[in-house]
Structure 1
Amino acid sequence: MGLMLRVQKVRLDPNETMKQVLDDLCDYRRYCWNQGLALWNDMYDVSLILGDKKLRPSARKVRDELVANKEDWQYQLSARCLQLAISDLGKAWQNFFKKSLPDWGKPKFKSKKTARQGFKTDRAQIVDDKLRLDKPHGVKDWADISFKGADDLNGDLKVVSIYRENGKYWASLPFEVKVTKKAKTGQKTAVDVNVGHFDYPEGQVKTLPNNLKALYKRIKHYQRLLARKRVANGKKATQANNYVKTRAKLQRDYRRVANIQHDIVQKFTTMLVNNYDRIAIEDLAVKQMQMSHVASKGLHRSMFGYFKQVLKYKCEWYGKELILADRYYPSTQRCSQCGHVKVGADKVGLDGNKKHGTKHNEYICYECGAVMERDENAVRNLLALL
């Protein structure tokens, strides 16, 4: 039994007063981030010009400077909003010096036009099944926030993230809970991720089921409508009521797609950690694969990264072993019967093999003559790692 963070996402239902409070805190978080980033950039440039590392900024220096120069109106808002914004800014700047990260780069300024706005607090509490935020000094109108979609809330509540999207309010409630390890089964399996489905020895799980087709068709329709409005009216298009309504419909359908796919991945990963002790999957370079025009949209929609993330933390929770195949492990190119690895023009790609005229789901070994499904062959090769 160990302590783990378990996050519960809930839909908030604030009254009109608390809606204004949440909106103000979202704006204040963005203000603190932008002010802190501007100050950080200036301090960093000065340290480079003078060549003095002691002048380099830190989260503590930037925070103290902003606190010392607070305006009167800032005292009407939670002080923790500023503290946590600068703390996150410091982490972002630390990542700037790690060029190996996939999204490497300097922290960027936040825009008020971004559809999703939010803030963090470490002073929130759950009182009588409602969310209570820390109340600043001198504020009279204050109320607890009821929420929907929560079940079995228990544990020590940590830093809460609250955000507004499409006129609705959400909160991510991380609880530190005691997790009991799953009983050992002595079984092992491998999962081969593909566009639209996951394959494993016992069957296949679809990540792009048929009920998503209608949603993606509507998404495509709304995207075209918004694009035409922007072409016709330029920047003024985003201020029109019809544009806002259409964008809200687009965000609604995107959220529905995400809910359906997240449900599939959560159930599948739970089944894996319940039934198997050792699980092998591929460590794919998804971003590099998406640079090809072949099935790039399908790759993005198949949620390879989310599947790996969820399976990884569940294996850590329940004491199961996750084996990540090397990124260059030829699970698709290797013959699972004779071990021959296809190279050059013989390789099997996302669209099959042009030289031999094979389809994308076929694997034919020209050394031993084996003929099998491409996904079945990949699963067998991954099982060989266990």
Structure 2
Amino acid sequence: MKQFKPQPGFTVLAHKLALDPNATANRHLHSHGGAARAAYNWAVAYITAVWWQRKAEQSYGIAEDQLTEWRSWSLPSLRKASNEDKRTNPRFADWWGENSKEAYNTGLAGAAAFDNYAKAKSGRRKGRAMGIPRFKSKRKAHPTCRFTTGTIRIEPDGRHVTLPRIGRVRLHEDASRLRALLDAGHMRILSATARLDRGRWFVSFQVEEKHQLVKVARPDTAVGIDLGIKTLAVLADSDGVLGEEPNPRHLERAQKQLRRAGRVVSRRQGPDRRTGQQASKRWEKASRARNKIHHRVANLREDTLHKMTTRLAREYGTIVVEDLNVAGMGRNRRLSRRVADAAFGEIRRQLTYKTRRRGTRLVVADRWCPSSKTCSRCGVVKAKLPLGMRVFVCENCGLVIDRDANAGHNLAALAARTTGTGVAGDLDPAKAKSKPRGADRKTRSTRPRREAGTGRAGGTIPGPRARAETGDRQQDTGAQLVLQ
């Protein structure tokens, strides 16, 4: 995909708007989404055909230099090959011209997944291991199409958009504010992406918008956010004010409806890929009813998180959060559903771009920073603090405080030591007592550990001494500042 570089004084943003297409527009949108999926599947078959051919040739003992040459998965080469194939392939000859060229370009650009797979295999790509790209199913894939050329605009009435080959589509919400920015020359549309998500069509405009900083309410105040399951977020700022964000637990509240809907789906004749059995109409109807519940839960969660993160980004000049191992927490079979419902990773992602947009700071505390074990009054660090102990009691100064509130105060004080802003609540390192063994590490689970080298990532799990040395080095830094 093409990356746009904004002009000086401008920044690249995205605005996501819901659509209310009529029957004709809905058919065109589905057609473009299906064309993009067909182009992607063609690219996967075109590239992997050589892989299997080389594997078969190697089984016959053919020399390496005599094997079939690899096919390039760069976008220009795939475009050239697809243009040659569409004239002779009977699958594409009948309907290829019904859609915009951007639909097929969207599918071919998705073949960049092969580049991610190759870099992951060679160790040049960070993150989890990538598998070989697979075909997209018509039943499971989300129809999507990205437009970069042609007529892309928001109509003057602010209630319609125009997309290439699709035409005029009504918006579900009023976009007069965006239209005013376009008329004033403060915004320019770069691309538009139509996508069917949660049963509704959306259009996302990638725009180049004039950057306007808005002063936050308390620019000299830092707030520490301790995320949890019982309480979604415990807030403690450098002035000592404490607040809580309750965990609405949208998924847990909908479990009764989901169980009932799941039983209805299980009693219907569903699809079976092994036997080729098609889903019945009653199964599809029951599946849509169940998906509607999931969509409502996702919408409620998204609304809750956006309201909380926007309020924090508008009020505080410095926000401190923990670097949680959300993937590891999700592997706990007792807490995985509640961790997924709380969406800790989404909270940090939203705070990252919202603080960058407002010119404020986001400080990420080190993963092994003992925020819960450290006394927020005297600085003494406990050796162990089990997760079941919800009240922090300091044996040195006698402080009795909620565990999460204590962590929030420590995170707020961490901002002063890390950024040098001079905000209140700084802890004097000279007052901190010597740390007992294990104080610089999170409390480990009592479950038996796996043997070294058996991790999913294929690496060797370090021993306790190696982790302790790593924790001591990380304790010196305390936190890492996200570059704005």
TM-score using structure 2 length? 0.68
Cα distance, 1:87–1:237 mapped onto 2, change above 3 Å: closer
Change (3 A) 1:125 1:263: same
Query: Does the 8 Å CA contact 2:160/2:169 hold for their aligned counterparts?
Result: yes
The higher-RCO structure (CA 8 Å, 6+ apart) is: 1
Match of 2:297 in 1: 257
1:7 matched to 2:14? The reply is yes
The Cα offsets for residues 99-125 of structure 1, whole Å up to 9 and x where unpaired, read as 522363332221111063222222333
CA spacing shift, 1:384–1:21, aligned 2, 3 Å: same
**Closer, same or farther in 2 for the Cα pair 1:324/1:166, shift >3 Å?**
closer
Equivalents in 1 of 2:267, 2:226: separation in Å? 40
- SS of 2:257's equivalent in the other structure is helix
Once residues 116 and 122 of structure 1 are traced to their aligned partners in structure 2, the CA distance between those partners, rounded to angstroms, is 20
SS at match of 2:254: helix
1:101 pairs with 106, 121, 127, which one? 127
2:72: which partner in 1?
Answer: 57
In structure 2, distance between residues paired with 1:228 and 1:333: 51
Structure 1 residue runs without a partner (length 5+)? 136-141, 353-357
1:181 partner SS: coil
In 1, the alpha carbon distance for the partners of 2:169 and 2:365 equals: 46
Report how far residue 145 of structure 1 moved: 1.0
1:278 corresponding residue in structure 2: 318
Matches of 1:285 and 1:224, distance apart in 2: 34
Please give the alpha-carbon distance, in whole angstroms, between the structure 1 residues aligned to 2:253 and 2:245.
Answer: 20
1:106–1:340: structure 2 CA closer, same or farther, 3 Å change rule? farther
Residues 269 and 280, structure 2, Cα contact 8 Å, conserved in 1: no
Measured against aligned partners, the alpha-carbon deviations of 1:324-343 in whole angstroms (never above 9, x if no partner) come to 11122222233334444444
Q: 2: CA distance between counterparts of 1:160 and 1:323?
A: 33
1:221 correspondence with 2:260: yes
Residues 272-318 of structure 1, C-alpha deviation per residue, up to 9 Å, x if partnerless?
A: 22221111101111111111123221100001111111110011111
- Answer yes or no: is 1:87 the counterpart of 2:109: yes
- Inter-CA distance 216–5: structure 2 relative to 1 (3 Å threshold): farther
For the 8 Å contact 1:3–1:177, the answer to whether it is kept is yes
Partner of 1:16: 23
Q: How far, CA to CA, are the matches of 1:206 and 1:102 in structure 2?
A: 32
State yes or no: 1:364 paired with 2:393. yes
In the superposition, relative to structure 1, how do residues 25 and 234 fare at CA in structure 2: closer, same or farther (>3 Å)? closer
Per-residue deviation, residues 149-193 of structure 1 (Å, max 9, x unmatched):
243224222332212356542222333222312326211111111
* Paired AA for residue 154 in structure 2: I
Deviation sequence 1:230-275 (CA, Å, 0-9, x none) = 69x9679972233222222222222222222222222222222222
Measured in 2, the distance between the counterparts of 1:28 and 1:215 equals 36
Which of these two proteins has the greater Rg computed from alpha carbons?
A: 2
1:57 counterpart SS class = coil
SS of 1:144's equivalent in the other structure is: strand
Q: Deviations over 1:73-116 (max 9, x none)?
A: 312211112223222322x2332214522363332221111063
Instruction: Return closer, same or farther for 1:193/1:237 CA change in 2, 3 Å cut-off.
Output: farther
Aligned pair in 2 of structure 1 residues 167, 322: CA closer, same or farther (>3 Å)?
closer
Task: State the Cα distance separating 1:34 from its structure 2 match.
Answer: 0.8
Instruction: Give the conservation status (yes or no) of the 8 Å contact 1:281–1:325.
Output: yes
**Structure-2 residue corresponding to 1:156:** 188
Instruction: Trace 1:74-153 onto structure 2 (pairs within 5 A).
Output: 74-90=96-112, 92-96=113-117, 97-98=119-120, 99-102=125-128, 104-114=130-140, 116-123=142-149, 124-128=152-156, 129-135=159-165, 143-151=167-175, 152-153=177-178
Structure 1 vs Structure 2 CA RMSD: 3.0
**Alignment length (residue pairs):** 366
Is the contact made by 1:229 and 1:237 (CA closer than 8 Å) also made in structure 2?
no
Could you say what secondary structure the match of 1:187 adopts?
strand
In 1, are the aligned partners of 2:306 and 2:350 still within 8 Å (CA)? yes
Aligned residue for 1:239, secondary structure, equals coil
Deviations 1:187-239 (A, max 9, x none): 11111111151111130112426x765434312322343245469x9679972
Percent identity for Structure 1 against Structure 2 = 24
> Partner amino acid for 1:225?
V
Amino acid in structure 1 at the alignment position of 2:260:
H
Bigger mean CA deviation after superposition, 27-36 or 156-165: 156-165
Give me the whole-angstrom Cα distance separating, in 2, the residues matched to 1:108 and 1:219: 30
- Closer, same or farther: CA 56–212 of 1 in aligned 2, 3 Å: closer
Instruction: Supply the AA of the counterpart residue of 2:307.
Output: K
Q: Which amino acid aligns with 2:311?
A: M
- What SS does the corresponding residue of 1:332 show, helix, strand or coil? coil
Q: Which residue of 2 aligns with 1:307?
A: 347
What's the TM-score, normalizing by structure 1?
0.84
- Pick closer, same or farther for the CA change 1:279–1:42 going to 2, 3 Å: same
Secondary structure in structure 2 of the residue aligned to 1:221: helix
Match of 1:198 in 2: 233
